[in-house]
Structure 1
Amino acid sequence: MLQGISPEYESFNDEGYDPVPPKWRGDCESGTDDGFKCNRKFIGARYFYAGFRKLLSDNNISLPETYFNVRDGNGHGTHTLATAGGNFVANISVMGNGNGAVKGGAPRARVASYKVSWSGFWGSNGGDPADVLKAFDSAIYDGVDVISASIGFTSEDYFKDVIAIGSFHAIKNGVMVVCSAGNSGPDPYTMENEAPWLFTVAASTTDRDFVSYVTLGNGKKLKGASLSNNSMASEKYYPVIDGVSAKLPNATDIDAMECYPEALDNTKTEGKILVCVAKAPKKENEKNPMPDTQPARPDAKPYIAKITANDNFTGNYIRADATILPSAKINFTEGQFLFDYMKTTKNPVAQVSGSKTEFNTNPAPMVAQFSSRGPNKIQPAIIKPDVTAPGVDIIAPYRPDSSFPYKALSGTSMSAPHVAGIFALLKKIHPNWSPSAIKSAIMTTASTKYGNSQSPILDQATKLEATAFHYGSGHVRPDLAADPGLVYELRVQDYLNFFCAHGYYEKTISAFCPGTLFACPKSFNMTDFNYPSIAVPYLVDSVTVTRKLLNVGTPGVYNVTVEEIAGVSVQVEPKSLKFGKEGEEQKFKVVFKRNNFVKLGKYVFGGLSWSDGSHYVRSPIAVMFNTRRDDLCCWHFTSNGEYAVKSGYNLGLSLVQEHSCSGAQGSGFLWDKIWNLAVPPKIKIFIWRACHEWLTTQVSLAKRRIQVDGLCPDCSKKFETTSHALWGCSGLKDIRDGVTFMKGLGGTAKASFIDLFGSCLHSLENGELELLCVILWRIWFFRNQDVHGNSKFREEDTLSWCKEFLDNY
């Protein structure tokens, strides 16, 4: 479900397939395209655009009817669908790289396409919510078994999340929805698609790299990534020039550094190797750096090769791109060697090799740097992602009209269809298993180790050991998932109980699940939710978690082992489970007790495994310590916590008199404004948390009865509230004075951050507001770095960095 399909590829050929099963009720909507045909392999296609067309109309944009069609406009939909269920196709490569057979996760599965995303417009890659919901309904009606949805919106409350809503109706009808985790890593709390009924997939590397080498004039060899099979003469070196040295007089250094065509004088790059800097990824409709195929000006020959070096923000993740000219992408560390050589050498020269495919690279798999991370923002008692799967340099059909009909793409969009294919295979093997049983089988048989040495899987961004918030239960192993032994079963009733434990009212649950007579159980809480992984986000003294295991194999006795967790003792009762027959269910309890001091707010990790000697059923565990005690009934508006009529009257009066932070339009306007800003989701969430006073300022910590003095760690003069930390502190004066529109907002902090930000909504243009959000986010980042002794805040660097960051985004 995403961007349509190009059905002409051999991946969707129906030779050797039986007639379409009678249970299929789908359609093949070709629209005005007479050449678009379905077959016995590719059995259905639909496209949904009513919501998107209304969005265009509301913005006075009209498009011809022929624009709205079922074909894949940018290759993404074809690539992901073939990865999930494409046929075996032999002798495929990208410019000679990675030569071999391509196939989907379930190569003999029948596939269908549901197009909801329309390329080339702002905010359209995720599709319009109304169109997405309609696509879910259609897929369920048509009779699919699994939906692969490499799509995501900003995570929010389940009943407002279009993917959560559509996928819940799918799971009610026995259809699993496999979703991408998002590509906003390596920061924590960046996960998309966090609902427990979704199968959320992170991305990891493989043991195959597409490499090229840059050899400098001093003999230093730098390893890069490339899919260009063109190389320079091995015995000859060529002059190198960076984009800034080749810029036109009216161009900015930043545009030239990134090698935008309009910024470079190609008479200066002719016959040379062009060196560029890779910044943060661009949005779909923004300008792209100079292509590697032709000059920007017809009166000059192009550069003869290109090297692209990561900046510090992009780090060490490099992606191989298919190019016609010799090229190499190098990471930040290698880039520093290159730029140091260019600065210290009078006439720097280099050569760029052609790409080659290297196998058995280690360590692999690693969790990809871009892959979004947990913890779960919506419900921290559920670990997300669920698993990780290959998502880096995945070769699959792309666009038949492209210079590269097969392309190597990277992203969680590529890893999710791998798992969708595995799910389809297991559904064929076990047609009577529920979606949650198959999901459990894949999760509990996943691995957190790699290679013969069984070393821990690493995080590509840091090269440190990854955790459950990187890879969930681990890297998928489909061969073991076919025979898991035991599974954690979840039924619709369990999800409804989950809603109760999450805090929803019965009336709300009934509206979400129409036709269901439902009453919340009296004793159910989140620790009883039978998820295959275990999270204890608020361990004070002890917590008891209950789980049930269903035998889907032969009779046997399973014994438990627990991986040690720092600062926590774990007791499982009983320690053995005896299953006498298939279909039998046994219950066990896990008691977590805090026995040592570990830094508050820090997660520690472990695992729990049941084994009969041949099956290993593992659940990852994540625990965070907290000082919070049992809940008490108290009144927060008196000093002793007891209600008084006078305090109640004063509170009511203040609520009546209190002005709205968003003016007459109400607080809903504030949240809508924040979510519609053109800034990364993590910055929107940061501003949202700041408006709720949820940042860990000294005052916030003091209110939680943590022993702090409440004073600002920077100025040590005033209490550190959110508004003081982000605005009023004297240490931020240069920031306020350095931005014109910030001067007009005053230099003192208002009573609350939400008042400050609410006033900004009405006094600033959208661009100014977006820059302000990035600045505030960066201030908070450096505040935390300073508190923990990692770095010192630098005003001049921060302003330029924020402007550059926003331009790049």
Structure 2
Amino acid sequence: MVINHSSLLLLFFFSTLFIIPINSQLLSSIIHCSDTSGDRNTYIIHVETANATKFLAREARERYYRSFLQPLSSSGEQLMLYSYMHAINGFAARLTEAEVKTMMKMKGFVHAQKDQEYNLHTTHSPDFLGLQQDHCFWKESNYGKGVIIGVLDTGVMPNHQSFTGEDMPLPPAKWKGICDFDIPVCNNKLVGARGFLRGCRNSPVDDNGHGMHTASIAAGNFVANASVLGQAKGNASGIAPKAHLAIYKVCYKHCHGSDILAAIDQAISDGVDVLSISIGGRPDPFYDDHMAIGALAAVEKGLFVSSSAGNMGPKESSVENNAPWMLTVGASTMDRSIRVTIKLGNGEEINGESAYQPDNFPFTMLPLIFPGEKGVVRAKTCSDGSLDGINVRGKIVLCETGGGVNNSIEKGMVVKNAGGIAMILMNQGKQMLTVKARAHVLPAAQISYGDALRIKKYMKASPVATAGILFKGTVYGTPVSPSIASFSGRGPSVINNGVMKPDIVGPGLNILAAWPSPADCGAMPTFNMLSGTSMAAPHLAGVAALLKASHPDWSPAMIKSAIMTTADELRRDGKPISDETGNSTNYFATGAGHVNPSKANDPGLVYDIDIDDYISYLCGLGYSDRQVSAVARRYIECLSRKAITAEELNYPTFTVSVASESQKTVTRTVKNVGENNAVYTVQVDAPEGVKVDVYPEKIEFSEINQTVVYDVYFTAGDTSDRIGSVSEGQLRWVSGKHVVKSAITVSFV
């Protein structure tokens, strides 16, 4: 593959501004709609199912929904944006606050919520996950053949080699979706594409890059000689390379809940099997969380939903997408580094990363300068104009990440325009060890916070500080992987009242995947490296697709359980998974651990959850009947059913709270999916400060799909000195072949 480095550098710079040139022939026609007239806003309206309406057809359902709008629009103005069939019982419409209050008095009204905005949150990652070509699990699952993955994101550029239909089978007969481009570009890989923008048909073309990046991670084709600026070269592929892709563009300048609901609604109708959603927002109660509501509808129809944990870590309780029916995925590192070594004047060497590795940059000791040494924030972060009046010409310039003004590419432009010859990008405290391999516009290296402190210490001790930079290319086998990326959202959840989140972690740092080609690259497929939990979620969507292909009778909860109870807890060097500081971490960062696809294919036992249990859990959260009904999409009277707490949900992990001198009993049900005549014995690492007993201590199965119930007794002594603290442990069911692990988190109250 011939790479035009200058073109790609421009691509990386402009992509940060969302100005990527695209092939205009691929643009589908756009219907422009306006929902900004007067003082109207978009509201999502939940209504009861009408007894007299069977809703066998979309037209009948829409007529019923419009009956709520007819008294509000004497002028005949079009108010409705979406009429939902599956995601909710209800619709999205443009309404004033007064009109919503009027609607609240109508018979059949359940709940109204103003539309909200959501945010967008790989040559080596399949190999890192143990999925080498012709690997047993990949072969057993037929590489995801016959499974349809729906991706809700910023769309797709269909002419990329990752999405060609060569050697792909026809989609399954159940597929009912369409390809909404003006020219016929869909195929047996890319089986469908639609755009959703405020109730209107719109182009599904990706003018951002994020969508095709996530789609190719989940199910991109094998593409030989993929690289970014010549680095990380290898055969790129998605986790489920033979799965089909259905693209639902829901993010244009913004991502709106009404559009997300419409896409989920359509995906259910189209026949999608797995949803990959790398989008999140503020943690609202579930009755106001449009994505959580739509996801529950999808799970009830048998779809598996993989979602991103958010990028606000390492802040505590920063995890997003907290619903227990979704898989919530945090981001981890891989064992690949795009290595740059900085040699200081005192002989110390520091390793950093950069995707831009110039061949002709000489190793020379150059003057080293930190414009922000006097504490001026703009100079620290090399913001626009901050280097005016500072002599950086011919020097290596130190810049800190962040600042909220410009990104790392733009910082490099500031340094380059001021005459700097190279840049060292230093992580600030919260980012610690997580280092991103970016494509810079000048020779550069990003380094960890700890290494930044080493450089600053050297500069203080040296009257004339110097440094040289060595570009070493792609290095594999980093022993401290996987570790948790600093930005990965952390628990505990502030919404779900005790379900452990995130559920799992997967690769999310420096992930190479498909990217729109610049106009001057012709048909050459290009790739980019991005980092975020946005990249982790499609990895798990791909794993779910493989498991779906291998075990078509497994429910979404069973697939989720298999992924969680077989997760890895150790790094490649045999030590516990570490966080961004290099220290061992906790379940609020790792969830059950790091995904191991091959082990997930044969978990031995699984924890299944019936949809009705989620409804009982919602009642246990203390929601009103109307609020629960909005999430459940049918009338629910909580007094007529047994409400359960999060602790009682048949989840693959245990999160309990105990008071001093108390005992709590939690019941779980496991299903045998291993072999006949299996016997498991329990092993417990009790959290410090609590005694854990399990009854029975041995469980036996005589056949596949047989279930067994067991109880776990948590007994606390005098824990008054532990109030407000958290302790961790683990429960394991062990047979001769399987180890089924469940994380335990105990909060002392």
TM range (shorter): 0.7 to 0.9
Structure 1's 427 and 398: CA in aligned 2 closer, same or farther, altered over 3 A? same
Deviations for 1:41-89, whole angstroms, at most 9, x for unmatched residues? 01111111116x9xxxxxxxxxxx9xx5212122111111100111111
Asked if 1:158 is matched to 2:286, the reply is: yes
Aligned residues: 590
Q: Contact 2:382–2:415 at 8 Å: present in 1 too?
A: no
Q: Output aligned runs, 1:259-658, within 5 Å.
A: 259-265=382-388, 268-279=391-402, 282=404, 287-288=406-407, 291=410, 302-401=419-518, 405-451=526-572, 453=574, 455-460=575-580, 462-515=581-634, 520-522=640-642, 524-540=644-660, 541-555=662-676, 556-595=678-717, 597=719, 599-626=722-749
Distance 1:145 1:583 in 2: 22
Deviation at 1:181, TM superposition (A): 0.5
Asked if 1:83 is matched to 2:217, the reply is: yes
Asked if 1:139 is matched to 2:256, the reply is: no
Q: Contact 1:266–1:303 at 8 Å: present in 2 too?
A: no
Distance 1:358 1:289 in 2: 22
Distance 2:461 2:487 in 1: 33
Asked if 1:37 is matched to 2:185, the reply is: yes
Deviations for 1:80-136, whole angstroms, at most 9, x for unmatched residues? 1100111111211222221111111111100011111124xxxx2xx1111111111
One-letter code aligned to 1:212: V
Q: Which residue of 2 aligns with 1:755?
A: none
Distance 2:549 2:389 in 1: 57
Structure 1's 326 and 587: CA in aligned 2 closer, same or farther, altered over 3 A? same
Q: Which residue of 2 aligns with 1:167?
A: 295
Deviation at 1:471, TM superposition (A): 1.1
Deviations for 1:241-262, whole angstroms, at most 9, x for unmatched residues? 33359x9xxxx94323322233
One-letter code aligned to 2:641: P
Distance 2:492 2:372 in 1: 41
Distance 1:313 1:422 in 2: 30
Q: Contact 1:213–1:223 at 8 Å: present in 2 too?
A: yes
One-letter code aligned to 2:444: S
Asked if 1:7 is matched to 2:158, the reply is: yes
Distance 2:727 2:614 in 1: 27
Deviation at 1:514, TM superposition (A): 3.3
One-letter code aligned to 2:169: D
One-letter code aligned to 1:259: C
Distance 1:392 1:360 in 2: 15
Q: Contact 2:605–2:674 at 8 Å: present in 1 too?
A: yes
Structure 1's 401 and 492: CA in aligned 2 closer, same or farther, altered over 3 A? same
Distance 1:347 1:452 in 2: 39
Distance 1:478 1:196 in 2: 21
Q: Contact 1:259–1:289 at 8 Å: present in 2 too?
A: no
- The range that moved more, 415-424 or 380-389, is 380-389
Distance 1:216 1:273 in 2: 11
One-letter code aligned to 1:359: Y
One-letter code aligned to 1:554: E
Deviation at 1:618, TM superposition (A): 1.0
Distance 2:344 2:633 in 1: 67
One-letter code aligned to 1:558: Y
Deviation at 1:518, TM superposition (A): 6.1
Deviations for 1:485-523, whole angstroms, at most 9, x for unmatched residues? 111111111111111222234444334323467664347
Match of 2:379 among 235, 256, 274: 256
Distance 1:8 1:553 in 2: 42
Higher relative contact order (CA 8 A, sep 6+): 2
Distance 2:544 2:711 in 1: 29
Distance 1:296 1:15 in 2: 45
Q: Contact 1:232–1:351 at 8 Å: present in 2 too?
A: no
Q: Contact 2:488–2:533 at 8 Å: present in 1 too?
A: yes
Structure 1's 290 and 209: CA in aligned 2 closer, same or farther, altered over 3 A? closer
Structure 1's 289 and 383: CA in aligned 2 closer, same or farther, altered over 3 A? closer
Distance 2:476 2:317 in 1: 33
One-letter code aligned to 1:271: G
Match of 2:321 among 188, 193, 216: 193
Deviations for 1:698-736, whole angstroms, at most 9, x for unmatched residues? xxxxxxxxxxxxxxxxxxxxxxxxxxxxxxxxxxxxxxx
Bigger strand fraction: 2
Distance 2:504 2:656 in 1: 19
Deviations for 1:423-452, whole angstroms, at most 9, x for unmatched residues? 000100111111111111111111212336
- The range that moved more, 359-368 or 233-242, is 233-242
Distance 1:35 1:288 in 2: 36
One-letter code aligned to 1:175: L
One-letter code aligned to 2:168: Y
Distance 2:725 2:413 in 1: 52
Deviation at 1:613, TM superposition (A): 1.3
TM-score with structure 2 setting the length:
0.75
Distance 2:513 2:355 in 1: 14
One-letter code aligned to 1:24: W
Deviations for 1:527-547, whole angstroms, at most 9, x for unmatched residues? 331111111024441100000
One-letter code aligned to 1:307: I
Asked if 1:50 is matched to 2:173, the reply is: no
